[in-house]
A and B are shown apart, each in its own frame.
Chain A
């Protein structure tokens, strides 16, 4: 049948249903384009993920029928009372509304049919099917197989050839005719492989067939890859089976039999050989959930989870996290947090970290920066909302990290959640039986447990933190139960009701013993404030903090003023502030700033305090912003050494530079004004340039490679990149001095320089 025909037979309401199921807008979708959309491979795959195992089996069975069509009676006979009539009707109607098949349910005249795109998609989806094994072969090879199977006439199109081969092998009677026509050795080899579970690898085959196997392999490589066969391979029972697609090659490198990893009897052949249908190979009814009595359990507490999320948010906000270069937190930081909040395990911090990322509590600061930063908390978000956001975050994270092996749009996390909502609450079930149920409900999304396929949506830490109790039975098998109260939060009913979780509480109880108690339902911002002024001491339900001199100092060091610290307490405290708290704030506040530290690279020192006073008050030098520390010492706040020298000279003074190790002395020196040069950088270079310009001598100190310090009086000539070219003032010897090794440079006074000029 054609898709057009299927669509044409739909009632208007059925068509509307179909559009909805295909996630198309009933109002804007052009029905004429619908066949193209429905036949699109990617789109179709998405639709097929919605099918359960029974529905998929019906489609697969239909895909094996000649012309992709079967009589109603044949379908009913094949199902053979494994499903009730009502169930069959419902299943077919469901498949019809997905646009995957059409049917007429009448005894004698009824029929059921699908179309090519569906048959192809379902066949390649899973397992070692004929379709998947033969697709890689050339059209000519498929024609050769058709000929061996006495299919006449050989269909022209590749897809038709494939379909024809499938029809022969999926039919019990025709398969047995094919087998009867084999040689005795080939039949015996088929039975041997069948007895091995339908699979044989190179080692097993080489032992079984001895040298004949290597000839056969050579034949496979040549014949099935188009290079012709060797005579020695003729008459090989293995070749007989391969030429009839009774055994197919399975390769990790596509469907190339020449590089087969092993050989196998296709699933359709095994099914037909045993006289059964695909309906016999799988369960058509959902597997039961296994209930258990767990021996070790942990029950989620949503309120305390939200409390701990507030803790990690505060921990990050206050800069307590050490960040790796890639912006992620160091493990030790999260372990520290676990310890501080008395978490049950040291890895609890990781769980919180992952959860904090799933809801908008932190955002990325970027590589090499300060890692993640804290977001403002939306005041409208209630505790119920935050729990729901966590679950949604888990679903969305799963979508973003779409796993290999799942189809586009398969949304495994969302499906897990859907099924969890349907199973009985407060009942312990094994996780494996739940996985089996998942695989039944959505076989194209979730692999059957034990199949070896990668687990999908397997990280349930968010669910265990929010809505599932976790446990193990006596054998150590994982079990869980859906906590009904948690479920009510996660899946709010349509009826507007009171919130399930306690509303946020923004208040604390501040006690005279300097403990501060925040209730378990403390608002995240209240927790943040508390972290900023106190130290957490307990977190077993309510969070208990203690106000200490250190905690207040830390708040002040983060830039809060004593008044702000006190305001934080007053804002949240349910009771009047005890004197003990007020005083610790005042005490620390008074000590705060008693010692001030600032940068002062350049100082001035004079013998006569009047000179310094004059300089400090000079309008010409006001830009330097000289601050008098002592009658004879001042610091320059707004200029580096050369600028100060220049400015002083312009103002009529004759400044000289002090040595690099010199320190200001309150009480005067022999120099009228001493300028302290900076080490390295412009300060040092500035002094040298000045000496060059004024033809003055300098005393330079530098470190030798072995670490010793050398000092010379030099007459600088020039600076070339980082090399100072100079002459020894005593010997006249030329010096090339690497400036990066220079520790200090000082200008010699005229008096000091005199002896060198003499």
Chain B
């Protein structure tokens, strides 16, 4: 008889994607079991989508998940018959894992296979053969240590996963502990943070120690990074998006760990310190040698010290030269941290193969329900364009249309109206265009932070915002990432980087730190109605709606065009 169990929550699709009903008594149990071998793609309100990919299955294999577990899970929770090809594909893919192993044999990095024919096949591949050394035995071939990452990447692209058992360089020992009662009251890792640390660390085994942890903004990624550092207790290099993030890491480390301030070095445009824990910026790593187009002298930092752990903060922003350098340091443990593993360039797979697979993924809404991030109300506020501007917009070149619509002066009126709703809140006004931000800052009589603002001034303003001396802060995209402003509870977005989904998520993240009073966060996007601004806004919202956020939509109606003119002076 055809299987049909309407009470079950899962639909297994022929392309190995899985649709999981949220409003189902088996949801939680099923979700927990799927997490072991499937990748959460999106989690909107009612149905979450998972994908069983080759990589997710091989990761599962490396964590000890068996084919039987996968089969039983799918059969137990599926509403309908499993499509004929799905189990065949899964069985085939899982059987590939472990056929090729990398390990150290007599001090040499060695590639080993079960089937000599497979080694023959690899040897005949033009891309792979240059990375193989002489054959030591029929089933073994030596590999140059510098090719470890590239070989793994190339084999993965050929559909041949490598079980990397070669282990890691432990690095120079440097004890790190989390403070139980530190300057800011110490730290106790939350359950999901412990799970994330353990998922990465894997008891220090060779199958752990490299990978990406995906958690929402405000969920404490830095703290998790500190937890991993405590596990590794080794010299650590941390790569950050900018100097503010460097300072924030430094502050957290001093507050929450036993690392003495003098052991923390800053490797940036301003300083070039190398200490047991060194914080560097992506920017300095990719600074070219003067007069040269090709050399990135600061990439040497990867090998100048005996690092036992490298942390990539906001790993989705990893620049290409750092990617390439990462391929050559596969003996070091590598931790990637991000809230949105969405690269607009579509290079998510490179992140997986060079930093490591996704080891942990906490859905935003799950953490919201548990109270670890603030519940957020997202609202799109649509404003009309003044007639003259619409005419200009209509006749504009395509490339200018977004700027015209995004900087629609009517947005100021809407902004004013929104601020009236939040007179006592800490509000971040975020925008893309500096002239627009200048106008807004002037309009609101609020301070402005852009890329031009000196770091010292930025810190001062951030500090003022944290203490409450400043309640409204106008910021450009420099504040998209890694700025910890826990008190901010309202973000108003005036314009963005076109349709960037990760930017939208990061901006929401600015207000998701849980509030002391348990209050909720508000995120507003002001868009010009019936324009390309609205189209981009739709696209920007995609990641968050897929994470389960709902956008309410409001229309803003200015009283009259006269009022607009009055406001604009």
CB neighbours (8 Å) of B21 from chain A are: 509
How far does the Cβ of A243 sit from chain B's closest Cβ, in whole Å?
Answer: 66
**Bound Cα distance A303, B4 (Å):** 10
CB neighbours (8 Å) of B4 from chain A are: 501-502, 521
> Known: A297-B84, A512-B45, A519-B11. Contact between A500 and B2, CB under 8 A?
yes
Cβ-based interface call for B83 (8 A): yes
Cβ-based interface call for B207 (8 A): no
**Bound Cα distance A424, B546 (Å):** 48
CB neighbours (8 Å) of A488 from chain B are: 1
Cβ-based interface call for B144 (8 A): no
Partner pick for B44 among A512, A519, A521, CB 8 A cutoff: A512
B13 and A301 within 8 A (CB) = no
CB neighbours (8 Å) of B551 from chain A are: 512, 579-580
CB neighbours (8 Å) of B45 from chain A are: 511-512, 575, 578
How far does the Cβ of B19 sit from chain A's closest Cβ, in whole Å?
Answer: 6
Cβ-based interface call for A688 (8 A): no
B550 and A512 within 8 A (CB) = yes
Partner pick for A541 among B6, B13, B550, CB 8 A cutoff: B13
A579 and B542 within 8 A (CB) = no
**Bound Cα distance A621, B83 (Å):** 71
B19 and A542 within 8 A (CB) = yes
**Bound Cα distance A113, B248 (Å):** 107
CB neighbours (8 Å) of A512 from chain B are: 44-45, 545, 549-551
B2 and A541 within 8 A (CB) = no
**Bound Cα distance A512, B553 (Å):** 12
**Bound Cα distance A303, B45 (Å):** 26
- The residue among A301, A488, A513, A578 with the most chain B CB atoms within 10 A of its own CB is A513
**Bound Cα distance A541, B16 (Å):** 10
Partner pick for B542 among A299, A501, A509, A513, CB 8 A cutoff: A513
How far does the Cβ of B10 sit from chain A's closest Cβ, in whole Å?
Answer: 10
How far does the Cβ of B375 sit from chain A's closest Cβ, in whole Å?
Answer: 15
How far does the Cβ of A549 sit from chain B's closest Cβ, in whole Å?
Answer: 8
Residues of chain A from 581 to 622 with CB closer than 8 A to chain B in the complex: 583, 587, 591
Closest B residue to A544 by beta carbon equals: B19
Partner pick for B46 among A575, A583, A587, CB 8 A cutoff: A575
**Bound Cα distance A514, B79 (Å):** 24
CB neighbours (8 Å) of A302 from chain B are: 2
Cβ-based interface call for B148 (8 A): no
Cβ-based interface call for B530 (8 A): yes
Q: Fill in one digit per residue for B538-569: 1 if any A CB lies within 8 Å of its CB, else 0.
A: 00011001100111110000000000000000
CB neighbours (8 Å) of A126 from chain B are: none
Cβ-based interface call for A517 (8 A): yes
Closest B residue to A342 by beta carbon equals: B15
Partner pick for B84 among A298, A342, A485, A513, CB 8 A cutoff: A298
CB neighbours (8 Å) of A519 from chain B are: 11, 79
CB neighbours (8 Å) of A303 from chain B are: 2, 80-81
How far does the Cβ of A711 sit from chain B's closest Cβ, in whole Å?
Answer: 38
A542 and B13 within 8 A (CB) = yes
Cβ-based interface call for B17 (8 A): yes
How many B residues have CB within 8 A of the partner chain? 32
Cβ-based interface call for B42 (8 A): yes
> Known: A501-B2, A541-B80. Contact between A579 and B550, CB under 8 A?
yes
How far does the Cβ of A112 sit from chain B's closest Cβ, in whole Å?
Answer: 48
Cβ-based interface call for B12 (8 A): yes
**Bound Cα distance A298, B88 (Å):** 12
CB neighbours (8 Å) of B44 from chain A are: 511-513, 515
A579 and B80 within 8 A (CB) = no
> Known: A512-B45, A517-B19, A542-B11. Contact between A500 and B6, CB under 8 A?
no
Partner pick for B17 among A298, A485, A540, A579, CB 8 A cutoff: A540
Cβ-based interface call for B47 (8 A): yes
**Bound Cα distance A519, B79 (Å):** 10
Cβ-based interface call for B320 (8 A): no
> Known: A511-B44, A512-B545. Contact between A540 and B2, CB under 8 A?
no
Cβ-based interface call for A7 (8 A): no
Residues of chain B from 405 to 436 with CB closer than 8 A to chain A in the complex: none
A591 and B530 within 8 A (CB) = yes
Residues of chain B from 25 to 60 with CB closer than 8 A to chain A in the complex: 42, 44-47
CB neighbours (8 Å) of A500 from chain B are: 1-2
**Bound Cα distance A538, B17 (Å):** 10
Cβ-based interface call for B194 (8 A): no
CB neighbours (8 Å) of A579 from chain B are: 550-553
A511 and B84 within 8 A (CB) = no
Q: Fill in one digit per residue for A285-318: 1 if any B CB lies within 8 Å of its CB, else 0.
A: 0000000000001110111100000000000000
CB neighbours (8 Å) of A514 from chain B are: 545
Closest A residue to B78 by beta carbon equals: A541
B13 and A578 within 8 A (CB) = no
Closest B residue to A514 by beta carbon equals: B545
A511 and B2 within 8 A (CB) = no
How far does the Cβ of B558 sit from chain A's closest Cβ, in whole Å?
Answer: 18
CB neighbours (8 Å) of B17 from chain A are: 538, 540
A509 and B549 within 8 A (CB) = no
Cβ-based interface call for A489 (8 A): yes
Cβ-based interface call for B14 (8 A): yes
Residues of chain A from 496 to 512 with CB closer than 8 A to chain B in the complex: 500-502, 509, 511-512
How far does the Cβ of A515 sit from chain B's closest Cβ, in whole Å?
Answer: 7
Residues of chain A from 651 to 694 with CB closer than 8 A to chain B in the complex: none
Cβ-based interface call for A520 (8 A): yes
B47 and A509 within 8 A (CB) = yes
**Bound Cα distance A301, B82 (Å):** 10
**Bound Cα distance A304, B47 (Å):** 20
How far does the Cβ of B23 sit from chain A's closest Cβ, in whole Å?
Answer: 8
**Bound Cα distance A88, B542 (Å):** 76
**Bound Cα distance A579, B538 (Å):** 13
CB neighbours (8 Å) of A540 from chain B are: 13-15, 17, 83
- The residue among A298, A501, A580 with the most chain B CB atoms within 10 A of its own CB is A580
A489 and B2 within 8 A (CB) = yes
B14 and A541 within 8 A (CB) = yes
CB neighbours (8 Å) of A520 from chain B are: 11, 80
CB neighbours (8 Å) of A583 from chain B are: 553
> Known: A578-B550, A579-B551, A579-B553. Contact between A502 and B2, CB under 8 A?
yes
> Known: A303-B2, A502-B2. Contact between A541 and B83, CB under 8 A?
yes
**Bound Cα distance A683, B261 (Å):** 94
**Bound Cα distance A538, B51 (Å):** 14
**Bound Cα distance A513, B543 (Å):** 9
How far does the Cβ of B2 sit from chain A's closest Cβ, in whole Å?
Answer: 5
> Known: A511-B46, A511-B47, A575-B46. Contact between A541 and B11, CB under 8 A?
yes
A541 and B19 within 8 A (CB) = yes
> Known: A301-B81, A587-B530, A591-B530. Contact between A517 and B14, CB under 8 A?
no
**Bound Cα distance A753, B4 (Å):** 88
Closest B residue to A580 by beta carbon equals: B551
**Bound Cα distance A491, B4 (Å):** 19
How far does the Cβ of A429 sit from chain B's closest Cβ, in whole Å?
Answer: 18
B2 and A485 within 8 A (CB) = yes
How far does the Cβ of A574 sit from chain B's closest Cβ, in whole Å?
Answer: 8
Q: Fill in one digit per residue for A478-500: 1 if any B CB lies within 8 Å of its CB, else 0.
A: 00000001001100000000001
CB neighbours (8 Å) of B552 from chain A are: 579
CB neighbours (8 Å) of B545 from chain A are: 511-514, 580
Q: Fill in one digit per residue for A249-262: 1 if any B CB lies within 8 Å of its CB, else 0.
A: 00000000000000
Residues of chain A from 543 to 597 with CB closer than 8 A to chain B in the complex: 574-575, 578-580, 583, 587, 591
Residues of chain B from 522 to 550 with CB closer than 8 A to chain A in the complex: 530, 541-542, 545-546, 549-550
In the complex, the 5 A-B pairs of residues with the closest C-beta atoms, listed nearest first: A540-B13, A541-B13, A299-B84, A513-B545, A502-B4
Sampled A-B contacts (17; CB under 8 Å): A302-B2, A485-B1, A500-B1, A502-B6, A511-B44, A511-B47, A514-B545, A515-B44, A520-B80, A521-B80, A541-B19, A541-B80, A578-B550, A579-B553, A580-B545, A583-B553, A587-B530
Chain B residues engaging chain A, CB cutoff 8 angstroms: 1-2, 4, 6, 11-15, 17, 19, 21, 42, 44-47, 79-81, 83-84, 530, 541-542, 545-546, 549-553
